[in-house]
Structures are given as C-alpha cells and as structure tokens.
A and B are shown apart, each in its own frame.
Chain A
Amino acid sequence: MKKNSKGLLIFILILFGFSLWVVWPNRDIGGRKDFVLGLDLKGGSQLIYSANLSGKDPSLTDAQALASVKGTIERRVNAYGVTEPTVQTMQNEQGSFILVQLPGVKDIDEALKLIGQVAELDFREQVLNATGNTTWVIAEAAGSNGTDEELTGKYLKPNASVVLSQSTNQPEVAFEFNAEGALLFKQITTRNLNKPLGIFLDNELISAPTVQAVIEAKGVITGVSLQQAKTLAIQLNSGALEVPLTVVQRRDIGATLGADSLNKSLLAGIIGFVLIILFMIIYYRVSGLVACLALVVYTVLTLAVFKLIPVVLTLPGIAGFIVSVGMGVDGNVLVCERLKEELRSGSTLQRAVEQSFTQSWSAIWDSNVTVFIACVVLYWLGKTFGNFMVVGFATTLFIGVALSMFTQVVVTRAFLRTVASSGLAKSSRAYGVLEA
C-alpha cells in the first residue's frame, strides 16, 4: 500500500514535469510553439458559402461537386498564403455549404474576391450577327479527337504567373496552354490574325488584344492591376469553381479586438484562480492546500493536453476551461468535506483519507456524467452550424472536466495519503475541523 502510493507519487511528478515542459513558452511541439488560437482571439475571418448545386456537372453527385469546390478553394487559399486555413463542407436540410476560416488575414476584401469567384476563363472572337453588329462568341476549334471544343481556362497549365510587361512595365498574367489547348489556340489565332481576341472572366471582358502572330502555347493577359493579376493567377492555377457560391455568413474579427479579449479573459482566469486557492486554504487548511496543489497539477496537465492535441482555443473555450477549474474544485471540496466528517466521527487520519475517497466517488462520477452529456450535444450543435465558439466551449469543458476527475481521484488522493502518512499534520484542526 505504502510502496504503491510512493510509485503513484513519482508517476504524478513525472506527468507534471512533462506537462510543464510541454506548456513552457516557445517549446516546440511538433512544429508549433504556441497554443492554437481561434479566430476570435487571433483575428481573421470565417466565411460560410452556400453552394448552388443546381448548375453542377450532371455526372457528379452533390457530394462530389461540393468536394470539387472545396478542393478548388483549398488551392486558392493555400496559394494566397494564409497560415492554418480551414476549409470544410457542410451538408444539411438547409443546403450545401462550404466553411472557410482564414486566421490572421488582413485584406479580407481581396480574399473574398479570390475565393468566391467562379473564375471561368474563356477566349472569344468577334463575329457579325444578323443585325450587322459584332458580338463576342466563345472561340471554338477542332480538338485532337476531331470535334469542336471551346477554348476555356480548363486547357491551361497550372503555372500562370504575374509578370511585368517589358515594354509598358504594367502587370500581366502569363499563362501556358497544355497540348490540347495549344492545338486549339493555334487554329484560333491563325484565323484571327490582326483581329481582336477577347479574354473573358466570368462573362466579363478583361482585355481584348489584337492577335499579332500565330501563337500556340504561351500568352499574357494585360489590362489588369497588380492586385487583380495576383488574384487571377491564383484562380487560373486553382481552376474554376464547379458551381457558383454566395456568402451566407461572415464573421470578421479585428486583430486588436481579439488580443484585447484574450488578455481580459486571462486576467479574469488568474484572479478567479487566486480567489479559489485563498478560499480553499483558509477554509480547509491542510486538505485545502493539498487540493490546491492538485489543482495546479490539473491546470498544467490540462493546458498540456490543449497544446498537444491541439485544441483550438477560443474565447468561450477559455471560459469553458476556467469554469472547469472551478468545477475541478468541486470534487476536491467533496473529498475535503468527507474528510472533515470522517475525522469528526473519530476515524484515524489514514482511515479518514481512504474513506473520504470511496464515499465521494459515486457523487463525483454521477455529477460529471451530465456535464459530459451536455458537452457532447453542444459539440454536435456547434459543428452543424459552423459556430467555432460553441465547439470551443464544449471541447475545453469536456476535456477540463474529464481531467479534473482524474486529478481528484489520482492526484489529490496520492497527495493526501502522503501528507497523512508523513505525520506532518496530525491534528484534526489542521484539516478544518473546528470542534476537534
């Protein structure tokens, strides 16, 4: 028994040491040095797009079309250079949605244009219609299998880039066709020599250069600003969206507002923690002190788990964690109250310690299960409508409460046993029993 509790104490110390090592500022854990902060703390933007699947390629299922849109958006977001973006699909009775999180993004307007635009590129030639006016018609030419194909962005190699024109020093997007595209482009430029060729993006004319020579593979798109050129290059490389998207939810959080909230909540957490510790020590004396030590172990352990998994910390998530610290006191208080009772009724210290745990267990377990049920439901709820704050709260509260049960049963008990058998504090008064 005694040997056993010594081994347990060593295990706890190792666990605590490891947790402290993990939590230590700037400790590199799998390439990350800090806790992963959610949008509300870091600043950034979350967009939910509704996908209009009615116009999808009929050979694709809804899920496939949505997955294709997701893939395109992922390529665009990655090329834009957002760190740790999230792109998720959500399908429910209300429709099909794509959720995009862009942490720390500064120019959200540009990002909105980049992501949400279908970006269907095509090349058009001018023809005379019946009324004698010229109109733009998508250029067609014979493909390798003999049938006429429209010349669109799908024949581009994914290597479009922004270059500066050597003659005008204006930004341009350089593109290159694949073999099939080059075949079409050659025929089209041949028949349109010295005529304008329109380059259209989503049915809007971007530029209409005059064809100076027969071109096969390479070309440039002029008449764009630098910002437009960058966006267009990314869009050409990522491909067009399978279906059009509309923004149905947007949440931007300013970076300073987020940082401000983080500091305030951390301060609140620290104040609350100090109050709890004072209260526990004044009211429960030695067992309160032991419970507080266990609480410190608990806090460091939980933070280590948050960093290891990693749990995305949001403002409600931090609140959930702080609440779980408060509730973590709960089990310790239950045990301390039991200990006082056992001592009052005349038990020896060792016996009182053992009794207080066996007697409190059913209450500790029963009372926490309901919190777990609430957390699981909340997690589901938050996921279904893309509310990362609700998910954050449910996650940290769940982990917090689970770990607090572990610390109550393992850590507080091991500490109390050690104190009880050490003979450091023998009188009942030391455990808060007034009428000893």
Chain B
Amino acid sequence: MIDFVGKKHWFFLISAILIIAGIISLAVFGLKWGIDFSSGTAITLQFEKEVELSQLRQELAGLGYGSATIQPAAGGEFLIRLPEISSDEYNQLKAGLEAGLATNITDSSLYTVSPIIAAGTVRNTVIAVIIASIGILLYISWAFRKMPKPIRWGICAVLALLHDLIIVIGVFSILGWAASMEVDALFITGVLAVIGVSVNNIVVVFDRIRENLKRGVSSDFEVVANCGIMESVGRSLNTSLATLFVIVALYLLGGATIRTLILALLVGITTGIYSSLCIAGQLLVVWEKGEWSALLPWAKRTA
C-alpha cells in the first residue's frame, strides 16, 4: 500500500515549485493575448509554389507591414499577425504578395477583430469565469452537505482546483515568451473545461473518502483518506489516461486552430490527476488534524 497521505509534504513541495514558477512567469511576462482579446488581424496563407520565410517577410515589409509576425505552419502555410486591417487593405496585401512572390495564393483564411469586439470579449470572459467558479463552489458545498464539515471539503476541492488552474495558466505564460503561444477564446474554453473535468476527479476521490468514513474503516482520518485515495488510483489513472489518449492524438494531428484548447486540456487533465490524488485529500487531512506545519516540506524532518 502506497502511503499517499504520508508523503504529502513532498507533494506540497512539488506543487509549490510549479505554482511559484507559474506565478513568477505571470508576474514578469504575463500572458500573450491573442487577437480575440487584444484586437488585430490574423491571416493564414497557402501558396501555390514554395515560399521562403525571409522572402515573405521582405515582401510584407515592402507592402508596409514590417511589424508583422510570421509563423510558418505545416503544409507550407504561413500564419501572419498584423494590427487590424480593413477589407480593402487585405485585398491589396494579397494582391501585393502574389505579384511580389510571383505565385498564387491557393487558400487563405482571415480573422480580424476590432477593439470594440475585443473589449466585450474580455469583459464577458471575466464574467464567465466568475460565474463558473461560483456555480462550481456552490455545487461542491451542496454535494458534500452530508459530510461532517461540508465547508472544509468544498474549500479543499476549490484549493486543488485553483492549483490546477494556476499551473495551466502558468504553463501558457511560460510558453508565451518561450514559444510565442497566444491565449485566445479557445484557451478560455479549455480552462473552463478543465475546471469541470478537474473537479470531476476530486469529487470521485472525496466520494471514496466519504464512503470509507461511513463504513468506519479507521478512527484515524489519515488512514481513511489514504484508503480512499488508494482505491481511486486505478480509476483516476485509467479514466484520465483514456481521455489523455484522445487529447494527445488531437494535439498531434488536430492542426493549429484548436491547439490552445487541446493544450489547455492536456495540461489541465494531467495536473488534475495529480492534484486529485496528491493534493486534495491531503489538504483535507492537514485541516482535519490541524497540522498546518505539514504544508512546509522541512517540518516533517525536524519533527
């Protein structure tokens, strides 16, 4: 039998490192906001003949778009980011590139967002995240209403949830400056889905602990909790693995459009497995026993 609860200080240490790294990155670099939130124009172009990145950059600069960010994508496509341009400017840009690069544009996609829409998106996203958090908090408190101290269960679940969220957002912040990963509306979608799925895992573990309490497995809550966690390991790993299979497949094959959504899910579900097995129940034990010093990794050794 693995002692999940006994190793809690190590788990807390690992989480603390991940969370602090994420928060530092967020504080220093923030997130790289996509055009959904910051407005602008994103163009995907596919050319008939092969085009060099440097050539494309030169032509765009010649057309007056020297500030454009250009990313080559699979299949000879290019993603180009510009400040917001009008439909006429877009047509001139395409015609200019076709003439300058002496090739035809075989397919193109355009996404352009003006500041007025971007401002609304930011506002509504904030509202959505708040509503979802309140809804889930209320639901958790209600789901654990028959527990001896329902608020504790609810708060521990929410703490584990926040843990997952901070890690997901932190990873995107780090990828933002390391790999110019942008956050868009689909990233928010992924984050909200992670909230739903992550609570899912925590609820299953808590459900087990609750059941063991009713059965009277042991008078020691630490043992009860560890039993609950142990019994959930197989299930948690297996279900999450099943979900991860499809998500990894989607990430590798799914193309650029939904990359942020899938990546947010990938990171969120992975941390969700970890936090449901290594954080949520352990927090409950710490609270139940009043051993707040156990949150500090060195406390156990000196004790």
Chain A residues in the interface with B (C-beta under 8 A): 40, 48, 50, 92-95, 109, 112, 247-257, 260-261, 264-265, 267-269, 271-273, 275-276, 279-280, 283, 315-316, 319-320, 322-323, 325-327, 329-330, 333-334, 337, 341, 359, 362-363, 366-375, 377-378, 380-382, 384-385, 387, 389-390, 393-394, 397
Question: In the bound complex, do residue A377 and residue B132 qualify as a contact, i.e. CB atoms below 8 Å apart?
Answer: yes
A362 — which chain B residues lie within 8 A by C-beta?
Answer: 207
Residue of A252, A261, A366 most packed against chain B (CB within 10 A): A366
Assess whether B197 is interfacial by the CB under 8 Å rule.
Answer: yes
The answer to whether residues A370 and B199 also contact, given A315-B257, A316-B258, A377-B128 and a CB cut-off of 8 A, is yes
In Å, the complex CA distance between A78 and B15 comes to 57
Sample of 5 further A-B pairs with CB below 8 A, known A93-B120, A326-B242, A359-B211: A327-B197, A334-B235, A371-B193, A371-B200, A373-B136
* Complex contact A265–B254 (CB within 8 A): yes
- Please give, as numbers and ranges, the residues of chain A lying within 8 Å of B247 by CB-CB distance: 272, 323, 326
Known contacts A254-B109, A326-B245, A397-B193; is-contact A367 B200 (Cβ 8 Å): yes
Give bound CA distance, A260 to B253, whole Å. 11
Whether A254 lies near B44 (C-beta < 8 A) is: yes
Q: Which residues of B contact A382 (CB under 8 A)?
A: 185, 189
Whether A256 contacts B106 in the complex (CB less than 8 A), given A279-B241, A373-B196, comes out as: yes
Interface-central residue, B87, B211, B248, B257, by most chain A CB under 10 Å: B257
Contact, CB under 8 Å: B189 / A316: yes
A248/B254 in contact, CB under 8 A: no
Closest to B199 in A: A370
| B44 & A268 in contact (Cβ 8 Å cutoff) | no
The answer on a CB contact under 8 Å between B117 and A94 is yes
In the assembled complex, how far is the CB of residue A100 from the closest CB belonging to chain B, in whole angstroms?
Answer: 14
Q: A275-B245, A333-B239 are in contact. Are A381 and B200 (CB under 8 A)?
A: no
Give residues in B with beta carbon < 8 Å to A: 36, 44, 46, 75, 77, 86-87, 91, 106-114, 116-117, 119-121, 123-125, 127-128, 131-132, 135-136, 139-140, 143, 185-186, 188-189, 192-193, 195-197, 199-201, 203-204, 207-208, 211, 231, 234-235, 238-239, 241-250, 252-255, 257-258, 261-262, 265
Among B77, B197, B262, the most chain A Cβ lie within 10 Å of the Cβ of B197
Scoring A112, A257, A334, A397 by chain B CB atoms within 10 A of each residue's CB, the highest score goes to A257
Partner among B113, B132, B235 whose Cβ is within 8 Å of the Cβ of A337? B235
B242 in contact with A279 (CB, 8 Å):
yes
Residues of B within 8 A of A265 (CB): 250, 253-255, 258
- Interface of chain B, main secondary structure: helix
Shortest Cβ gap from B192 to chain A (Å): 5
B241 cross-chain contacts in A, Cβ below 8 A: 279
Q: Is the CB of A377 within 8 A of B131?
A: yes
- B253, A271: Cβ atoms closer than 8 Å: yes
Closest chain B residue, CB of each to CB of A432: B234
Hey, which chain B residues are within 8 Å of A279, CB to CB? 238, 241-242, 245
Give chain B residues whose Cβ lies under 8 Å from the Cβ of A249.
112-114, 117
Q: Which of these, B91, B107, B186, B253, contacts A255 with CB under 8 Å?
A: B107
Assess A254 versus B46: contact at CB under 8 Å? Given A94-B117, A373-B136.
yes
Contact of A254 with B200 in the complex, beta carbons under 8 Å: no
Tell me if A109 and B132 are in contact (CB < 8 A): no
Partner of A333, one of B125, B128, B203, B235: B235
Given contacts A329-B239, A329-B242, A366-B207, is CB(A268)–CB(B252) below 8 Å? Answer: yes
The listed residue (B128, B185, B196, B211) touching A380 by CB distance below 8 A is: B128
List A contacts of B143 (CB < 8 A). 366, 369
Which residue of A50, A255, A367, A394 is within 8 Å of B199 (Cβ)? A367
Distance (Å) between the CB of A152 and the closest chain B CB? 27
A94-B120 in contact (CB<8A):
yes
State A255–B114 Cα separation when bound (angstroms).
24
**Cβ–Cβ contact A254 & B235, under 8 A:** no
User: In angstroms, how far is the closest chain B Cβ from the Cβ of A95?
Assistant: 7
A-B contact pairs, 12 of them (CB 8 A): A248-B116, A251-B112, A252-B109, A267-B253, A269-B249, A279-B241, A326-B243, A363-B207, A370-B136, A370-B140, A374-B192, A377-B192
Max chain B C-beta neighbours (<10 A), residue from A40, A112, A359, A367:
A367
User: A316, A327, A384, A385: which contacts B239 (Cβ < 8 A)?
Assistant: A327
Are A330 and B243 in touch, CB under 8 angstroms? yes
